[in-house]
Amino acid sequence: MEAPIQIPNFELFKEIGRGGMSRVYLARQLQPKREVAIKIVSPGSAPDEAFLSSLKIEGDTIAGLNHDNIVTVFACGVVDKHYYLAMEILPGGDLTERIKKGLRAEDAVEVMIQIGGALGHAHKKQVLHRDIKPENVMFHESGKAVLVDFGIAKEGDTESSFTQVGAVVGTPHYMSPERCMGKSTDARSDLYAMGVMFYEMLTGHKVFEGRDTFAVSYAHVYEPVPPLPPEHARFQGIVNKLLAKDPKDRYQTADEMVAALKKHRAGAPSSAEPATRRVDTTISSPLQEKLKRLAADDAGPGATTVNQPTGPVNLHAPTAVSAPLGAASGTASTTAVEAPKGKSVMLYGAILALVVVIGGGVVFWPKPKSDLPEVILNAQQQVEVQDKLGAARAMLRNENTEGAADLYYKVLKEFDCTNEEARGGLKGSDPTRYEEAISACK
């Protein structure tokens, strides 16, 4: 193997992994003698001396962490404009592999406790990780979980050099709402990512899916916490609190989270934390803006009125549609929608055919009587359906009707041809495929 650089006191043998910014090599440290893994940042990611120098400072910061569940760093530095980090070898694979194979709930809880302890130690040293995800949790041969790759970590309120050059901004699926919106973050943002990872360990699915980064980020900001399958419902309170939209509603420290998990492990049920959705109502989706414009164009008798809620909204609080002849109103935020006239009829027809989330309000209406067959889904299928419906709602807000139609079609063809939300959504966005999807529904 031709090593990219010669590092004093180390011999590099072979490449054992790579990422977008770096490669990892198996190596031997000469004094003291031991095998190590060395991560080398690629030259294209190191544009100047200041950048390399800041990486060295970050490496020193991580090397100063001393915890059983944080990777041990032996050395770091800059050679020939390459940044390197020598660390312990972890032969037990990563958490992604274990999630694919399937994890027992008690094993997921144990990983959360161990990695939570690691985060607690780092946070007390004023170090944030900022890229919590299954790929960055690895294992010793003994099975002990270890947190690795603090590559975009930052100390205190200082900005990471990786963030400054835009090379790494984290993984969208694990980003907190405040980070998605470009706001300042603290330790509670790491805890949100822990909640996403916990959900994935329990279900095998990411909490929010989407066709692109925008759809996923939007879901983190606006979408409610999906329900866990029945067999894991006892963890819903912990998941809800970790994934609260407002950092003030989450566990405030990693130690608080670990204490709750240990209490739960000991047999005590977790408190029923509500799946709150706190949003900044100054943020308006493209679909909202279009609805407002259409409503203004149709002003007059029968024009559409959308009452936007202000302040925090609890998505699990009941809401209702106010029809022209009157309807029951919810006990929390209520979105009132009257039948529109003019060119917006088709758009509203599509939207009113399904459960719609518009900037903070959720719309429900009674299920019509139908002679359609009853479809029974298992827990795994229910989770997949909810994932697809949630992603479709996010796409609608971004006016990605084609992507939403694809997801509605999959729900009807592969899971439940009677699903009202999918039927209404597909009928409004792609009538041709709607007819095809329901033709086989007997």
* Total Cβ atoms within 10 A of residue 209: 17
Instruction: Give the C-alpha separation, 230 to 203, whole Å.
Output: 11
Strands 313-314 and 276-277 turn out to be antiparallel
Instruction: Give the C-alpha separation, 162 to 153, whole Å.
Output: 9
Instruction: Give the C-alpha separation, 226 to 249, whole Å.
Output: 17
Can you spell out the DSSP letters for 331-356?
SS-----PPP-GGGHHHHHHHHTS--
Catalytic residue among 60, 94, 131, 249: 131
Burial 88-97 (b: 16+ CB within 10 A, else e): bbbeeebbee
Cβ–Cβ under 8 Å, residues 81 and 46: yes
Burial 274-289 (b: 16+ CB within 10 A, else e): bbbbbbbeeeebebbe
Judged on CB neighbours under 10 Å (0-12, 13-18, 19+), 310 is exposed
Catalytic residue at 249?
Answer: no
Cis peptide, bond prior to residue 32, ω within 30 of zero: yes
List residues with catalytic annotation. 131
